[in-house]
Each structure stands twice: as structure tokens, then as C-alpha cells.
Amino acid sequence: MDMGWFRSVMTAVLFVAFVGIVLWAWSSRRRDDFDAAARLAVDDQEEDVIIRGGVR
């Protein structure tokens, strides 16, 4: 086993891992979770306004 073969195998493994992560992130089952995460900052600011009675 030489270094070129090892590099080829590692490239293939990392590529498969990358494709798996992309498919996981773009799957329709994850949409609700990512939408909720995207609204976290906005929801937090809205709660601040309600608690403090207005925007400073």
C-alpha cells in the first residue's frame, strides 16, 4: 500500500461524507428544524420587546 492509494481512498471517503451531509441538510424532513433555527434570533428580539414594553 503506497501513499497514492491511501490518498485516493481518503478522497473517496471524504467525498462520500460530504455528499451525505449535503443530502441530510437539504432533505425535506429537516426543513422545519432549520426554519425554526433560522427564526431564533428574530423570536428572541420579539420576546425582548414584549418583556420590556417597547424598543429602546
pLDDT tens-digit profile of 27-36?
A: 888 888 888 8
| DSSP H/E element including 1 | none
Domain with 34 in it:
3-52
Domain count, the chain: 1
d(CA 9, CA 3): 10
* Higher local confidence (pLDDT), 40 or 4: 4
Render pLDDT for 11-53 as a digit per residue (tens, 0 to 9): 999 999 999 999 998 888 888 888 888 888 777 665 555 555 5
What integer pLDDT is reported at residue 22 of this predicted model?
94
Neighbouring CB atoms inside 10 A of 42's CB total 9
| 34 contacts: CB under 8 Å, gap ≥ 6 | 25
